[in-house]
Structure 1
Amino acid sequence: MDKKKAVAPLVCHGHSRPVVDLFYSPITPDGFFLVSASKDSTPMLRNGETGDWIGTFQGHKGAVWSCGLDKHALRAASASADFSVKLWDAVTGDELQSFEHKHIVRACAFSEDTHLLLTGGAEKYLRIFDLNRPDAPPMEVEKSPGSVRTVAWLHSDQTILSSCIDMGGVRLWDVRTGTIVRTLDTKSSVTSAEVSQDGCYITTADGSTVKFWDANHFGLVKSYDMPCVVESASLEPKYGNKFIAGGEDLWIHVFDFHTGEEVGCNKGHHGPVHCLRFSPGGESYASGSEDGTIRIWQTVPSTHNGPDPSDANGKVKNGADEISHQMEKVDIAKEAKNDGSEKTTGEKATEPN
């Protein structure tokens, strides 16, 4: 049986350049939300269930490489090629703080308790900003061996993980000592690292391999060879029985977690898939691509009968209309900005995608 079955996703337009990162909030009283990072310099917030556009965060002057929401979906963060990480009010769209760096910032992540913001990038430093004292100097952990590509928190904010653009492996850092306590070995550079919702697994994508690691003891649990070079992978959060992977071949592959058997394959993008994430309940997953679109794929029958989420004037449903109302007048940027491959504040960037 041909597994490449046509499945019609919700198509979310709005970005004018490649979408390079996606992040779902946990489920909140107003539903759950999806924030996207793009090389067009404008992170976007959407209703996570319907894909309806809520608003655009404007203020960056370079490509945005990473984005995140705190667990209450009240604040957003974005890391950019303009040498800054910005903290946003996710209700009003206002910029709350800009944390300046000395080089391109590729990754950012809120701590579980929402009080800290972790950043990393081409400076090869991991920094932890105290959001209760945003003007205070950040804590800097031991210098990373390479340019930082991904970061994440685990163990109730006691451990952080990072991967590098220019070398393999995932490094685990003890926040208290600021030192590397373990390295998870991979042959290729890790382009995606995700901590599972239950905190049990770390999912990594490197080259044409997806690996699953025990997040507590750090042993390798499973390793699967992929049909192509993949950039991102995500584990289904509710049952943990399947995972998705996507990359160079434009397809989104669905696999059985226990056997590695491919059980589905969806195509819709017109460029390589750069990022994939399951929604917090596992009922859908989102993909971002070189083609500038976000696509939301249902894993269970959809009950959404509202407007097309590709309409950038759509309003959020299920209790989030207030957020949409306060941000609906924010304009979507029309012009592409510096993505880090051009000169920024006098320094030429050389970071790959």
Structure 2
Amino acid sequence: MRPILLQGHERSLTQIKFNKEGDLLFSCSKDHIINVWFSHNGERLGTYDGHNGTVWTVDVDAKSELLVSGSADNQLRLWSVATGKCLFVWEFPTAVKRVAFGEDDTKIVCITEQRMGHQCAIRVFDINREEPTRQSKEPLHMFNIIGSKATVCAFTYTPNVILTGHESGKVSLFDVRSGEEIENNERAHSDVVTDLQLCKDQTYFITSSKDKSARILDIRNLMPIKTYTTETPLNSAAIAPNRPYVLLGGGQDAMSVTTTSLRQGKFETRFWHRVFEEEVGRVKGHFGPINTIAVHPAGTCYASGGEDGFIRVHHFDESYLRAKPYGDLEIMD
């Protein structure tokens, strides 16, 4: 699998995201810029310029019309995917750490940082798709997280219910209308939850953590279904559609990278068998920890973004797509 190397960022990557069709790949990093690329050949299509701080998070709607981004400049921005224009800016007292579109793309949820006397807050905004430049400054719902702050979030298939991962390793389900915690699993992880990605039908999801493990959990009761334990802190985890694999990325902390060789730092993307909980392969290439991983919605390729500022897009070989991990049984997600 010869990777396509995308060099469009000067600093480390924070999140990458495919659109629903998988033909576009969005990337954001600590250099204040959001880029969009063609996933099949790695050509850069354009740049979304406007943030004045690290862009922590990005998400795109199902029609690839609107893009939303959150940054350390305390702003949440709405962009037009096609023109690169910023359509609307929401201002907050602290940095925006995670954003996500809702199921029907009419709502967005965001997490703001706990800092300077401000509590970690979750806000849900209604999106006016008819006139994207005219949005309500006031959130539709807002509540503060009591206890351990939230680091990642996503909407679930249940209306008005969001899923959150926390600094303590807890995962929770919240009703956004009342701010009430419906369900939680305090012991999902023993350290910070660094990433959370839902499967296609949203019945389960994968989390990665600094406690060196990734887990697949049931969305109804938040109980672990599978656990993948590695020897390195994990920053991201993704589920490969149509194949029984999960992809894990991480590596030794960026601060101590200079003291170790590439092999000891363990900066590889790891492929684990989703069902048997066994590691089946690794892909090397990054010169620092892998911060974010995304898999093409059709499962034909994956991309990883690292602390080294590079994005590597790997298109799977024919042998990967032809392999029969279940024998002659064909399982489609």
SS in 1 for 2:103: coil
**1: distance between equivalents of 2:227 and 2:50?**
41
| Cα shift at 1:294 | 0.6
Compared with structure 1, are the counterparts of its residues 181 and 282 closer, same or farther at alpha carbon in structure 2 (3 Å cutoff)?
Answer: same
- Give the 3 Å change call, closer, same or farther, for CA 32–156 of structure 1 in structure 2: farther
**Partner residue in 2 for 1:42:** 33
Structure 1 residues 210 and 178: CA distance shift in structure 2, 3 A = same
State the one-letter code of the partner of 1:46: W
Q: CA deviation digits over 1:81-137, x for unaligned, max 9?
A: 000011100000000001111001110011121111111021400001111161241
Q: Where does residue 295 of structure 2 map in the other structure?
A: 278
Contact 1:158 1:175 in 2 (8 A): yes
Secondary structure of 2:191 counterpart: strand
Match of 1:9 in 2: 3
- 5+ long unaligned stretches in structure 1: 1-6, 303-353
Query: SS state of the match for residue 271, structure 2?
Result: strand
Q: CA–CA distance in 2 between the matches of 1:160 and 1:32?
A: 27
The aligned counterpart of 1:66 is 57
| In 1, Cα distance between equivalents of 2:175 and 2:279 | 36
Q: Deviations over 1:54-84 (max 9, x none)?
A: 1110000000000110011111111100000
Counterpart secondary structure, 1:216:
coil
1:300–1:174 CA distance, 2 compared to 1 (3 A): farther
Which residue of structure 2 lines up, in the alignment, with residue 131 of structure 1?
A: 127
- Count of aligned positions: 291
The corresponding residue for 1:194 is 197
In 2, Cα distance between equivalents of 1:156 and 1:13: 39
1:93 paired to 2:87 = no
Partner of residue 291, structure 1: 308
- Give me the whole-angstrom Cα distance separating, in 1, the residues matched to 2:232 and 2:224: 21
| 1:139, distance to aligned residue in structure 2 (A) | 2.9
Change (3 A) 1:157 1:34: farther
Does the 8 Å contact 2:271/2:279 carry over to 1? Answer: yes
Equivalent-residue separation in structure 1 for 2:158 and 2:149 (angstroms): 25
CA deviation vs aligned residue, 1:302-327 (integer Å, no higher than 9, x gap): 9xxxxxxxxxxxxxxxxxxxxxxxxx
Corresponding residue number in structure 1 for 2:242: 238
Q: Provide the residue aligned with 1:222 in structure 2.
A: 226
Corresponding letter in the other structure for 1:138: P
Instruction: Give 3-state SS (helix, strand or coil) of 1:296's partner.
Output: strand
Separation of aligned partners in 2, 1:180 and 1:293: 38
- State the Cα distance separating 1:238 from its structure 2 match: 2.5
Query: How do 1:13-32 and structure 2 match up within 5 A?
Result: 13-27=7-21, 32=23
Measure how far apart 1:156 and its partner are: 4.6
- Does residue 259 of the first structure (1) align with residue 260 of the second (2)? no
Question: Post-superposition shift, 1:287?
Answer: 0.3
Contact 1:141 1:179 in 2 (8 A): no
**Which TM-score applies when normalising by structure 1?**
0.79
Contact 2:171 2:222 in 1 (8 A): no
Separation in 1, partners of 2:84, 2:193: 32
Match of 2:183 in 1: 182
Distance 2:229 2:286 in 1: 22
What secondary structure is seen at the aligned counterpart in 2 of 1:57? Answer: strand
**Normalising to structure 2: TM-score of the pair?**
0.83
Correspondence for 2:262: none
CA–CA distance in structure 1, aligned partners of residues 286 and 245 of structure 2: 21
Work out whether residues 125 and 141 of structure 2, in 8 Å CA contact, stay in contact via their aligned partners in 1.
Answer: no
